[in-house]
Amino acid sequence: MKNVLIIENSSLFREYLRLKFEDNGVEVCTVYTPMEASGKMRSLAPDLIILNNLSDPQAYMRLLKQKKSDPNTANTPVVIITYSIEQKMLLDLVPYNVKKVFTKPIKVDAFFSVVSEILNLPFSIDKSPGIVEIRVNDNIIFVEITQGLNRDKLEILRFKIKELMDLYRIRIPKIIVMIKDINLSMADTPTLIKLFDSVFQSANLQPNNVCVLTSIELVREFLSGNKDYSYIKVFSDLKNAMEALVPKSDKDESPEDNKEIPKDRVISNDPRKGKEEMLLVFEAEAKDKHSDFIDAVMPNLRIAVIDDDFVTQEFIQNIFKKTGAIVNTFFDGEEFLIAVDTWDFDLAFLDINMPNVNGFQVLKALQARDIRYPVIVLSSINQQEAIIKAIQMGVKSYLVKPLKPEDIFYKSIEILKANF
């Protein structure tokens, strides 16, 4: 039996890889750090080593040098997964039989294609259509499934839900599963079971904390006929689904808690429609465990803040100051659109109501230029229709003013992790 040594500091990602390899008949040993891997490498003489997150390049280079010096492991192939890597380090890796370096997010099918070639083993990967998107707004997890039910993406789903729960410290989750634009038949019943198993395995869900939004009758029939899921309520209208999850009587009357979720998200146009990527973006369980991501990605980011409020500009600048990210501020959309011709941005915070060129005009101009920065809309509470319109124009998410530092930080990590 082939065996693989995985060095990974995220327990969620370790578990995902372990299950995937074992399902394909490969023995797996997982460790947390290069130091732990040192002894395991000698005793196992693995057929493949997978290094994930080069957060400490010196420690990993020491491990690779040890591998090369040992006759039993000198020829062992290595696959590396990381957020980013410098050209110089790529050259430094050549002597150590590094077969491939993947930068995140990676396509699962491409990753296992390389692994399959190295181990000379076939790996079962579902290449059927299907897009799975997961977003958190107001501590409600939205799972949107379109175009098809891809089994591998549904397997990833439960790990991503756990990650977002940890990121936002959601103790008792509320989940809306939105299923649309899919032609289903009775042959898809096992995949539907996998979908809902993934959702429930990811969290300790209570019956009244999950609902389904769909117009597909087969999904409704499946749930009502399955004793494990018959209690799940199914809706065809997002407003009704939201009210079922968060009854008005349970809402605090404070402005912050009265924020609403955009009602039209389920029918909005996705600018990425047609792209069938499987994103592997799993990270650690708590805020301090995001240090690898912050250290590797943030210093290389350029962030735009487009808001005519100087206080908001300073507020967001201060949040990212210690991360090393470059934050450029603009008092209106006109200034920003001029800068777009000079700089590439990785993330933009965009106010809607601004003089000269407002937020909607900025979004329209970006669409016309086929520029798809991740955009987080900043909105006041009474701008619900504006939020809906912005999301339909392709923004990634929204934040309602007044802003909190932790909300901006967590939302940025959530959005950026879908792109790195």
Distance (Å, rounded) from C-alpha 323 to C-alpha 347? Answer: 14
- 146 and 204 share a domain? yes
Q: How big, in percent rounded to 5, are the helix, strand and coil portions of the chain?
A: 45, 20, 35
Distance (Å, rounded) from C-alpha 320 to C-alpha 244? Answer: 37
For residue 307, the enclosing domain spans 287-417
Angstrom CA distances, 109 to 98, 105, 129, 150, stand at 19, 12, 13, 12
- 41 and 142 share a domain? no
Domain assignment present for 273: no
Distance (Å, rounded) from C-alpha 152 to C-alpha 31? Answer: 24
- 164 and 109 share a domain? no
- 245 and 345 share a domain? no
Distance (Å, rounded) from C-alpha 215 to C-alpha 219? Answer: 8
Residues 6+ away with beta carbon under 8 Å from 69:
none
- Residue scoring higher pLDDT (241 or 276): 241
Domain-terminating residue out of 63, 89, 119 = 119
Q: Is the pLDDT of residue 17 over 90?
A: no
Domain assignment present for 275: no
Domain-terminating residue out of 119, 145, 170 = 119
CATH of the domain at 210: 3.30.750.24
- Give exposure, 220-236, as e/b (b: 16+ Cβ within 10 Å): bebbeeeeebeebebbe
- 263 and 334 share a domain? no
Number of H helices, E strands in the chain: 15, 15
Domain assignment present for 293: yes
- 135 and 227 share a domain? yes
State which of 138-142, 177-181, 293-297, 407-411 shows the largest mean pLDDT: 177-181
Residues 6+ away with beta carbon under 8 Å from 177:
143, 145, 195, 196, 199, 210, 211, 212, 213
Distance (Å, rounded) from C-alpha 160 to C-alpha 13? Answer: 10
Residue 385's pLDDT band (cuts 50, 70, 90): low
Angstrom CA distances, 158 to 18, 27, 197, 217, 288, stand at 15, 22, 9, 24, 22
- 260 and 294 share a domain? no
Which pLDDT score is estimated for 182? 92
Distance (Å, rounded) from C-alpha 50 to C-alpha 7? Answer: 6
| Long-range contacts (CB closer than 8 Å, 24 or more residues apart) made by 235-244 | 235/211, 237/213, 238/176, 238/178, 238/213, 238/263, 238/264, 238/265, 238/266, 239/263, 241/176, 241/211, 241/212, 241/213, 242/140, 242/176, 244/208, 244/211
- 394 and 331 share a domain? yes
pLDDT digits (tens, 9 = 90+) for 145-155: 988 998 888 88
- CA 32 and chain centroid, separation: 22
8 A C-beta contact, residue 174 and residue 139: yes
Distance (Å, rounded) from C-alpha 59 to C-alpha 138? Answer: 40
For residue 105, say if its preceding peptide bond is cis, omega within 30 degrees of 0.
yes
| H or E segment to which residue 306 belongs | strand 302-306
- Ranges of H-type helices in 120-188: 151-168
- 301 and 191 share a domain? no
pLDDT digits (tens, 9 = 90+) for 87-140: 778 888 989 999 999 887 777 788 899 999 999 999 888 888 888 888 887 678
CATH of the domain at 100: 3.40.50.2300
Q: Looking at the 3D structure of the chain, how many domains does it have?
A: 3
What's the token pair of residue 96? Answer: 């150590």
Domain assignment present for 49: yes
Domain assignment present for 280: no
Domain assignment present for 380: yes
What's the token pair of residue 272? Answer: 């990425």
Domain-terminating residue out of 232, 267, 302 = 267
Q: Is the pLDDT of residue 233 over 70?
A: yes
Distance (Å, rounded) from C-alpha 353 to C-alpha 10? Answer: 41
Q: Is the pLDDT of residue 36 over 80?
A: yes
Domain assignment present for 274: no
Largest CA distance in the chain: 69
3-state secondary structure 67-123: HHHCCCCCCCCEEEEECCCCHHHHHHHHHHCEEEEEECCCEHHHHHHHHHHHHCCCC
- 105 and 25 share a domain? yes
- Give exposure, 26-41, as e/b (b: 16+ Cβ within 10 Å): bebbbbeebeebbebb
- 293 and 410 share a domain? yes
Can you tell me the mean pLDDT for 380-401?
Answer: 68
- 255 and 303 share a domain? no
Residue 266's pLDDT band (cuts 50, 70, 90): very low
Domain assignment present for 277: no
State which of 24-33, 48-57, 104-113, 249-258 shows the largest mean pLDDT: 24-33
8 A C-beta contact, residue 330 and residue 308: no
